[in-house]
Amino acid sequence: MSYIGSVSTVDDQRLEFLQGTLEVLILRSLQAAPNHAYGISQFLEQQSESEFLVDNGSLYPALQRLLQREWITAQWKLSPNGRRAKYYRLTPLGRKQLVAARSKWLRFVEAMGRVLAPEGRHA
Amino acid sequence: MREWWAKIRQILKRTRGLDDDLGEEMRSHLEFLIEENIARGMAPDEARAAARRHFGNQMTTGERAREAWQFPRLETVLQDLRYGLRGIRKSPSFALVVMLTLALGIGANIAIFSVVHAVLLRPLPYPAGERLVWLGESTGDASGISVTWINFHNWRGENHTFEDMAGFEMADLTLTGRGEAVLTHAMVVTSGFLRLTGARPLMGRLFGEADDRPGASPTVVVTSEFWSKTLGGDPQAVGATLALNGKAYQVIGVLAPGPRFLSRAVDFYLPLGISAGNTANRSQHGSMRVLGLLKPGVTLANARVDLDAIMKHLALADPGPENDHRAFAEYLSVVRTGDVRQTLWMLLGAVGLVLILACANVASLLLARSTARAREIAIRTAIGAGRRRLARQLLTENLVLAAIGGGLGLLLAGLCLRTLVVSGPSSIPRLAEASVDVPVLLFAAVVTVIVALLAGLAPVFTAGRVDLTLALKEGSAASGAGRRGHFFRNTLVTAEIAITLVLSFASGLLIRSLIMAQTQYPGFDSDHLLALELQLPPSSYDSDDAARQFYGRLMEGLRGEPGVKAVGAVNCPPSAGDCGDWWYSILEKPAPDRGSVPLSLFNTADSAYFRAMHMRLVAGREFTDADRPGGPRVVVINEEITRKWWPAPQLALGHRIKIGGPYREGPVYEIVGVVANVSQMGLDTEPMPEIYYPFSQRAERAMVVMVRTAGDPATLIPAIRRRVAAADRNLPIQSLRPFEKWLEAPLAQRRFSTMLLGVFAALAMILAAVGIYGVLNYWVSVRQREIAVRLALGAQRSAILHWAGSHAMRLAAVGIAMGAFGAWGASQLLATLVFGVSAQIPGMMLAAAAVVMAIAALAASVPLWRATRVDAVQHLHDA
């Protein structure tokens, strides 16, 4: 049941996803508006300033898992440039999960930062 | 859980494949990438290749996405299974106790369910057996009485709810001309009957419509047993004639072997229309009942309404004394099983309670074990096992245990079932067919899974709540020992006590009823009594005088036999059941309403019968030789009738009884005597009204001669056989046995159910004792340090005993209170199975409570003793 979003083989300098991260990021990318798989990976790349490169082999299974949990729903629609694409949308349940996960991750990041901070700053 | 539903839904609506959808989505994704590359200035071919590279492997991406929708892989299931088996090997005694407990509970359930399935649930062995309906007439208190020929014809012709209908009745005929005269059993039927019961001819033909006509020539269709036994399997049997009651019947067919109709063995079938077809009177009753085949989809209620409408119409078109008669309809499957139905459901309920007890014990064991395993689980969680994964593994372990327990249970059930079938009373129809077949195996599987889930819930619930840091620290209180665990355990114990109380109470009631029935004074002395059952063939005894002379001669001879003290004869001896009932009224009393004309059993006895039986004469006189055929018509009634009409029995003397009641033709008899009630319908039944005709005025060919002996009745059997042969060499003896055997036979079913319920109650007691012991023992173990501290602070051992004892008492008290409610509910259900005692007697409740209390005390004594033996010094040192 556990999964790890893997780094892209293209660039070893990029960050590895921690367990459960990708789902939260997908939820976040859908917060403003529904989007398709391509749009989601674009969003994550841009927002992370290209630190995250989303591997489709991780993205697609993650989307299926979110669908199963009914945190998102999917619908085929026309994109602004007239192309048919499958759009994902947050459900109210997904929105709630995002809020919860967001505060959890922020605390985690803060704690990691404190622990890993240079010793001098701590003194 | 939601994910599983989503997966199941996905499987169900696989029509528009997930694959197509995914493929299309990935194609559109690629298009976006290509577009972007072109926008950056690449050539179209280059843009496409770059996009492909960038997207990655479409095949594996699609595969992994699809995998998300699949159920856990077989490998993980196998891994869980291996873990489960390893767990069993690691703690074999624990596993053994769990498996044996489950085997007992599940096995008992499978055995009883097999019986319920064979007797009650399996469809009758006829074509469309589930739609076969038993039809009779009903009026006032009497339901299911015989149908008159005219009514049958009207029902058959005018109904809208039946596919087919057939009349049938039983008859006993003497077969002569083939060696010794033998009494044979016939079903006299209309032609549809053999069709409805699915009979097929082995040779010759079955009855047709032509055989139903009054003028048809007498024909007979014989069963395969009769054909092979009595006709010697003669291949030329069709066309032969049988002399039945002195009349020649031509054999037209031999039936293939098939299931019996009701439990009665039949030698052959005769056409009913020949004898009954020329009656014109709509209220002339014989003993015919009707078998109907409902149209598919028609309910019993529809059919009743349909037939009642015909009866109402007939009451207007052809008015008579029976205008108020209506139709009685019941499924044949229900009629066949009768009162067994309730008994079996009761037993299934009881054995279900035993299973709940077994589950409770196993749950409490698993909980204790999961407490011990809290560390293991904490480590697994720490190295990354998800809660769900852990729960699944624990459940798999439980399923493995339960499956082995269920398998053992199945073996146990097979053994028990064989014993049940062999020792069960013959009055339970189709009991012999009970076997562990496919539906029973399904039942076993379902029960096993449910048991695994139920018993496994406790540790699974607590497993998710393991506090990592606490559990990893050596010696800390672990999950199951927490508040939640204790509450759960206490609930289990109180439930066990409650269930045991219900079962002990119920089995106590039944045991008491059985004792009451067995020790009940039947109204006569049943010891030193032989019953000789005879049936004179009408061919050789064609008049009442001939029958009277024969019995007179025979009894005279018997009285001369040394060792014989008295001889009397009766048509229907005690416990032989219902040999016919009919309406009556008392001429001197106001006539009852049409709907409430009373019914009475009718019987025929000779002048010596009451004295030979040692039946108490309450008032008036017995029959005498002066009650002659032409003289004033007299009857003797039983005490039960006098209760209804007179304040004292002797006041009945001289009153006149009208047979048939005030609203129909019938003879009038004077009451000359009142005798005590006897158990006519069996020892475990309440007395019923009964009227005796004098044999001298109303001769019967079928009589049971009662021989009162000085010594062991069995020793006289050869002498009596000789006397019968001397009186008529050709007369078959129907039965000749000590009367006590006869009397006890109807109790077989009660004994059977009482014994089973007793076994279940005993099982429940053992399981409950083990459960109470386990939980209290655990309670003491967890508190050893607390006890040690208390002792160190100066508490007396008696104070410890009091403290631990009051904990046990509280559990027992709550359990008994709950059980009392349950027992009260059970007593409502048991009311009709109880005899001689009130189902609500407080004494039985108190006795059951005392027994349960004693068991609880016994089970608690060892843990309590342990509590007082705690070595304070050692414990405080260890800590």
Three-state SS annotation for B168-203: EEEEEEEEECCCCCEEEEEEEECCHHHHHCCCCEEE
pLDDT for residue B479 is more than 70: no
Paired residues of B567 in beta bridges: B707
CB-CB under 8 Å, B7 with A81: no
CB-CB under 8 Å, A60 with B22: yes
pLDDT for residue B751 is more than 90: no
pLDDT for residue B521 is more than 90: no
Would you give the distance in Å from CA B616 to the centre of its chain? 37
Contact B811, B493 (CB under 8 A): yes
> DSSP per residue over B52-110, as a string?
HHHH--HHHHHHHHHHTTSPPPHHHHHHHHHHHHHHHHHSHHHHHHHHHHHHHHHHHHH
Determine the 3-state secondary structure of B340 from DSSP.
helix
Contact B499, B788 (CB under 8 A): no
Q: What local confidence, expressed as pLDDT, does residue B480 receive?
A: 45
Res. B460 pLDDT band, cuts 50 70 90: low
The CA distance from A117 to the nearest CA of chain B, in Å, is: 26
CB-CB under 8 Å, A57 with B386: no
CB-CB under 8 Å, A64 with B68: yes
Res. B614 pLDDT band, cuts 50 70 90: very high
CB-CB under 8 Å, A86 with B28: yes
Q: What local confidence, expressed as pLDDT, does residue B684 receive?
A: 81
Closest CB to B7 among A68, A70, A85: A68
B380 touches chain A (CB under 8 A): no
- Integer Cα distance of B845 and B824 in angstroms: 9
pLDDT tens, position by position, B572-601: 999 887 777 888 999 999 988 877 888 899
User: Cα-flanking dihedrals φ and ψ of residue A74, to 5°?
Assistant: -125, 150
- Integer Cα distance of B111 and B444 in angstroms: 10
CB-CB under 8 Å, B61 with A56: yes
- Integer Cα distance of B108 and B102 in angstroms: 10
pLDDT for residue B378 is more than 80: no
- Integer Cα distance of B546 and B309 in angstroms: 47
Buried b (16+ CB within 10 A) or exposed e, B752-772: bbbebbbbbbebbbbbbbbbb
| Residue B340 identity | V
| CA-to-CA separations, B537 to B312, B705, B730, in angstroms, rounded | 41, 16, 10
Q: What local confidence, expressed as pLDDT, does residue B245 receive?
A: 81
Determine the 3-state secondary structure of B536 from DSSP.
coil
Q: What local confidence, expressed as pLDDT, does residue B96 receive?
A: 87
CB-CB under 8 Å, B25 with A37: yes
- Integer Cα distance of B579 and B572 in angstroms: 6
Q: Is the pLDDT higher at B562 or at B459?
A: B562
pLDDT for residue A10 is more than 60: no
Closest CB to A1 among B6, B66, B388: B388
Which of B21, B40, B64 to probe the A interface (max A CBs under 10 A)?
Answer: B64
| CA-to-CA separations, B826 to B339, B699, B731, in angstroms, rounded | 17, 48, 52
pLDDT for residue B16 is more than 70: no
Please determine, looking at this structure, whether the domain spanning A21-122 carries the CATH number 1.10.150.120. Answer: no
Res. B661 pLDDT band, cuts 50 70 90: confident
CB-CB under 8 Å, A57 with B61: yes
Q: What local confidence, expressed as pLDDT, does residue B777 receive?
A: 84
Nearest partner of A60 among B65, B188, B733, B654, judged by Cα = B65
pLDDT tens, position by position, B317-374: 888 888 888 899 999 888 888 778 888 888 999 999 999 899 888 888 887 777 777 7
Nearest partner of B724 among B569, B592, B598, B582, judged by Cα = B569
pLDDT for residue B451 is more than 70: yes
**What are B652's two structure tokens?**
């009945």
For residues B180-207, average pLDDT: 88
A vs B, Cβ pairs < 8 A, gives 74
Q: What local confidence, expressed as pLDDT, does residue B336 receive?
A: 81
B-chain residue closest to A58, CA distance:
B61
Residues of A in contact with B33 (CB under 8 A): 38
- Integer Cα distance of B106 and B118 in angstroms: 18
- Integer Cα distance of A50 and A60 in angstroms: 19
Q: What local confidence, expressed as pLDDT, does residue B110 receive?
A: 92
Residues of A in contact with B35 (CB under 8 A): 81, 83
CB-CB under 8 Å, A64 with B6: no
- Integer Cα distance of B696 and B743 in angstroms: 26
> Length of chain A in residues, anyone?
123
pLDDT tens, position by position, A61-95: 889 889 888 899 998 888 887 888 899 999 999 99
Nearest partner of B337 among B165, B118, B136, judged by Cα = B118
Which chain A residues have any C-beta within 8 angstroms of a chain B C-beta? Answer: 1-2, 36-39, 55-58, 60-61, 63-65, 67-70, 79, 81, 83-86
B821 touches chain A (CB under 8 A): no
Which of B32, B381, B383 to probe the A interface (max A CBs under 10 A)?
Answer: B32
Contact B442, B110 (CB under 8 A): no
Report percent pLDDT > 70 for chain B: 93
Q: What local confidence, expressed as pLDDT, does residue A4 receive?
A: 33
CB-CB under 8 Å, B26 with A60: yes
Q: Which long-range contacts (CB under 8 A, 24 or more apart) does B652-655 make?
A: B652/B619, B652/B620, B653/B619, B653/B620, B655/B586, B655/B587, B655/B588, B655/B589
> Length of chain B in residues, anyone?
879
pLDDT tens, position by position, B104-160: 999 999 999 999 998 888 888 888 888 999 999 988 777 888 899 999 999 999 999
The model scores a pTM over 0.90: no
- β pairing state of B668-675 and B634-638: parallel
User: Cα-flanking dihedrals φ and ψ of residue B33, to 5°?
Assistant: -65, -45
DSSP letter, residue B473: S
Q: What local confidence, expressed as pLDDT, does residue B328 receive?
A: 92
| Least confident span in B112-116, B621-625, B665-669, B778-782 | B778-782
pLDDT for residue A7 is more than 50: no
- Integer Cα distance of B749 and B150 in angstroms: 38
Q: What local confidence, expressed as pLDDT, does residue B462 receive?
A: 58
Highest mean pLDDT among B34-43, B643-652, B731-740: B643-652
CB-CB under 8 Å, B55 with A57: no
Would you give the distance in Å from CA B793 to the centre of its chain? 61
Nearest partner of B299 among B147, B166, B162, B139, judged by Cα = B162
Closest CB to B65 among A60, A79, A81: A60
Res. A54 pLDDT band, cuts 50 70 90: confident
For residue B323, count CB atoms less than 10 angstroms from its CB and return exposed for 0-12, middle for 13-18, buried for 19 or more: middle
